[in-house]
Amino acid sequence: MKKIVIVGAGASGVYLSLLLKQQMPQNQIIVLEQNKSPLKKLLATGNGRCNLSNRKMHSQYYQSDQLKMVQSIIQDFDMVEQMQKIGLYCVYQGDLLYPKSEQALSVRNVFMQRSEEAGVVFQYEQEVLQIQRQKHQYLIKTNSQNIIADVIVLAMGSEAGKLSGMNTSRYEILKQMHLKVVEPVPSLVQFYTSPVLKSLKGVRVKGTFSLVENEKCIHQEKGELLFTDYGVSGIAVMQLSSFYQKHHHYQLYIDFFDELSHNQLCQLLSKQSSLFLEGLMNHKIAKAFQKYQYLSIDQLVSLLKHYPLEIKGIREASYAQVMKGGLSLKEVTEDLELKQYPCIYAMGEILNVAGMCGGYNLHFAFASAYRVAKAIERNVYVKNS
């Protein structure tokens, strides 16, 4: 019998525990979680609806230092088929895949029920502080106990969004093991802007939004933006934030009328009455633009099609959905086994893999667990035969 310890009860950790117990029921599977309960971040995914995957599943929607490996992992995993095997029925809404229930809670309940029924042991409030090699096994030191393991899987997640815990010891463990860690920075997060349009707080705008540096468009997103009391938020902003880099100076350009060309908007405005922009856009935005009544129609249209905000920075990790950075994929094999440490694997958010909004990060979490499960089953079988 082998003792397999999974560090982290997030999406990848819980799914892996279930796969391993189903494939190798004779082995002891222990999941260590630093929080008081499992799958906390999963419950917030997709505004509680749990966006699991996307029809357009390709490595171009990810950032990593080994995109070819990412492509192999995500392509090797069929979310609909694998979820149905554990009793979770999923349906596509457009390109986005959701559980039929549209409830992250039901996903959590299915995973935990199946795992506990299979005999997985979950231990909570266990922060792993150190991992040491001991001949052919490993010693795991937590805040309250020592555990000897034959196989370890690192699935600690990241500090994004508070929900998987803000302790940075997850990275210290990797550094103690002399593994390369790409500096983690927040991604899929809101922008601080100048000016801050506080009069528009709570107003949502549909349009096209461009991240620009030195008059060059870095990336463009069509979607929705939300004005806040610190800057801007919304799905389009979250996507743009994944292209943000420290020590760069960016502007955000808003096209309030992306469905109209410059000339078409000029014609439309030329027919407006003294109400100015009322009837064309949100009342609060129309009111905010009243100060530009002195502009010519051509100048006003240029402003409405390219309204500039200076980006002062991104919000902190506690507000982010994911972190760019983490354990370099150059440290692992195609099976996600650490090259320097046989029988230690890494998966999910602890790796230097960050996807866009739209189910990409959850897909990688489950797909990486699936890859590790196959590798452990194969390796344990070979060693026992």
Question: Each residue of 293-347: pLDDT tens digit?
Answer: 889 999 999 999 999 999 999 999 999 999 999 999 999 999 999 999 999 999 9
In this structure, the answer to whether residues 87 and 207 fall within a common structural domain is no
Q: Which of the listed residues 314, 342, 367 is the one where a domain comes to its end?
A: 314
**Same domain, yes or no: 266 and 229:** yes
| Number of domains the chain is built from | 2
On whether both 8 and 145 belong to a single domain, the answer is yes
Instruction: Give me the pLDDT at residue 272, please.
Output: 74
Q: Is the dihedral of CA 164, 168, 169, 171 positive or negative?
A: positive
Average pLDDT, the chain: 94
Does 178 share its domain with 124? yes
60: its two tokens: 């171009």
> Is residue 116 exposed (0-12), middle (13-18) or buried (19+ Cβ within 10 Å)?
middle
Q: How far is CA 329 from the centre of its chain?
A: 17
Q: 1 falls in which pLDDT band (50, 70, 90)?
A: confident
Shared-domain flag, residues 24 and 140? yes
Q: How confident is the model at residue 274 (pLDDT cuts 50, 70, 90)?
A: low
Is the pLDDT confidence value at 384 over 60? no
Same domain flag for 298 and 344: no
Distances (CA, A) of 164 to 126, 249, 282, 318, 336: 13, 31, 38, 10, 21
Are 72 and 139 found together in one domain?
yes
Which residues span the domain enclosing 80? 3-186+322-384
Task: Out of 287, 314, 341, pick the residue that ends a domain.
Answer: 314
What does the pLDDT look like over 38-62, one tens digit per residue?
Answer: 999 898 887 889 999 999 999 999 9
Confidence of residue 161 (pLDDT cuts 50, 70, 90): confident
Report the CATH number that the domain containing residue 83 is assigned in CATH. Answer: 3.50.50.60
Whether the pTM exceeds 0.85: the reply is: yes
Rg, the chain, Cα only: 24
* Distance from C-alpha of 131 to C-alpha of 37, rounded to nearest angstrom: 23
Candidates 381, 36, 350; CA nearest to 179 is: 350
* Residues 75 and 217 both lie in one domain: no
Tokens of 272: 């407006």
Domain match, 304 and 337 both: no
Asked if 133 contacts 341 with a C-beta cutoff of 8 angstroms, the reply is yes
CB 16 within 8 A of CB 354: no
